[in-house]
Chains A and B, each alone.
Chain A
Amino acid sequence: MTQENIPGAAPSLARLVQELNRLPGIGPKSAQRLAYYIIRLPDEDAYALADAVTSVKQSIVFCEECQNLTDASPCPVCADPRRDRTTICVVEDPLDVLAMERTRTYRGLYHVLHGVISPMNGVGPDQLKIKELFNRLERPELAEMVVATNPTLEGEATAMYIRRHQGREGLRVTHLARGLPVGGSLEYTDETTLTRAFQGRQEI
């Protein structure tokens, strides 16, 4: 969207609409609605929003250990002495760390890849944090790597690449169980998921 697309709009307002329109999932109409909402906000709320955007860009860095986004490196998880340092859980995205932490089940370390291998989109291993992962695998205390990429075609392909190329002998490499989601339905489950769920059946 350009300023010419909003006849009668002030240049500063048109610029805000233009910037909001660049965000994922925000179309021209949504950008205009958000811009007018921001204008109607009390001054302190609008400045707090602007300050949050500025400070996140100034302070967020990659954790030198797990490559997660943090404002202090190493991140709180990597710096926590109570975490189990024998296990590392490899995830695609920083949001996946939040999802895992919500379970309160896993107490080991993480490694964030920041994407998956996607040849059709020109994303290969060099565009991800895979080299950093392989460097971490050299640590002698590490006993298990849980590859928790999404069970999609690209997530599985990335997991296979990591398993094939990790050079640490004796390391236990696992992935999360595949099966039925809570609240799911057998009738609508695809055959691959159902097969894996059956293979992983447990005594009750």
Chain B
Amino acid sequence: MAPPRTYRCEAIILGYTPLGEADLLVTMYTRDQGKVRAVGKGARRSSSKLVGHLEPLTVVKMSLAHGRNMDVISQAEVTQSFAELKEDLTAITKGQYLAELVDGFGAEANPNPGLFQLMIDCLRVIEATKGRESESASDMPLRFFEFHLLQVSGLMPELYNCVECRQELEPDAHRFSPNVGGTLCLDCSPDDAHLRPLSLRALKVLRLLDRSGIVEACKLPVDAGLADELKSLLSNTVAYWLGKEIRSNSFLERLHKESQPEVYI
């Protein structure tokens, strides 16, 4: 029996690019098919039934038809619009950061329901904490996302034993490298350009991210120094595995700098 010509799915819209006169080439991450790129015919026309249902950072139920080269979106209906998140520039940029990472890590025809749910959970928390960018804790949803992105992608860093000598890590400062797969004790010093110091406080937060849910992790009080260390460590680790720069990071950093009060010396 021939496979059905159409299928239904639940998807998070990651982005789109204009295609032809009035079409959109939509990139989405679905629960059951992984990353999908499909055409929204006539979706740029204001009278199209697809208008407003294909905006990035929106969860959509849709029907698609298998095409010769690319699937075609036949119906789409928003189930979660994250309307409040989209009222805040910093929250939007955080959502775009997540979308860029899911686009980079997600693979076509390779479903990962854990990644799908992780993005929805993080968007919900970003929406709930929007407007609090002066608090370092408000970036914890991004750190939680980066850590669990590595976990659901099979790239979870080792946090309990030295990756070289396999000895259990003492409660002390250590070193970390994505290249060797996680944490190293001070006695082991491989020749590795990605090696960086890891404070005991940062190691404890990473272990907490491993054990706790997003709501609990995002309540953790984190001072500016620790937040910077975690951001640098996790963001660089994700970029290392992605193999390229995360472009939305620079605009996010710019917004953070602009939101901090200027210090005159």
Contact = CB atoms under 8 A, between A and B. Distances in A.
B57 A153 contact: yes
A44 interface: no
B78 A117 contact: no
B49 A124 contact: no
B247 A119 contact: yes
A200 interface: no
B81 A119 contact: no
A192 B52 contact: yes
A161 B259 CA distance: 12
Nearest to A180: B46
Interface stretch (B34-42, B93-101, B169-177): B93-101
A71 interface: no
Contacts of A185: 49
Given A119-B247, A119-B252, A120-B100, A190 B89 contact: no
A120 B244 CA distance: 13
A148 to B, nearest CB: 14
B67 to A, nearest CB: 16
Given A124-B250, A190-B81, A191-B78, A119 B52 contact: no
Interface residues of A, number: 28
A165 B258 CA distance: 10
B52 A189 contact: yes
A61 B43 CA distance: 32
A161 B51 CA distance: 24
A8 interface: no
A7 to B, nearest CB: 25
Contacts of B19: 25
A183 B83 contact: no
Contacts of B57: 153
Interface in A164-190: 164-165, 181-185, 188-190
B92 A190 contact: no
Contacts of A121: 247
Nearest to A150: B44
A42 interface: no
A119 B97 contact: yes
Contacts, number: 72
B157 interface: no
B57 to A, nearest CB: 6
B81 A192 contact: yes
A18 interface: no
A190 B86 contact: no
Contacts of A154: 56
Contacts of A156: 86, 92
Nearest to B92: A157
B20 A25 contact: yes
Interface in A112-161: 117, 119-122, 124, 152-154, 156-157, 160-161
A166 to B, nearest CB: 13
A193 interface: yes
B47 interface: yes
Contacts of B250: 119, 122, 124
Interface in B41-65: 46-47, 49, 51-53, 55-57
A86 interface: no
A179 to B, nearest CB: 11
B83 A120 contact: no
B96 A120 contact: yes
Contact of B81 (A160, A183, A191): A191
Contacts of A165: 258
Contact of B55 (A25, A117, A153, A164): A153
A140 to B, nearest CB: 27
Interface of B: 15, 19-21, 46-47, 49, 51-53, 55-57, 78, 81, 83, 86, 88-89, 92-93, 96-97, 99-100, 103, 247-248, 250-252, 254, 258
28 contacts: A25-B19, A25-B21, A119-B96, A119-B100, A120-B248, A122-B250, A124-B250, A124-B251, A153-B92, A153-B96, A156-B86, A156-B92, A157-B93, A160-B88, A161-B89, A181-B51, A183-B47, A184-B47, A185-B49, A188-B49, A190-B52, A190-B55, A190-B78, A190-B81, A191-B81, A191-B83, A192-B52, A192-B83
Given A119-B251, A156-B92, A160-B89, 10 more contacts: A119-B100, A119-B250, A120-B100, A120-B103, A121-B247, A122-B247, A153-B56, A161-B89, A190-B52, A192-B81
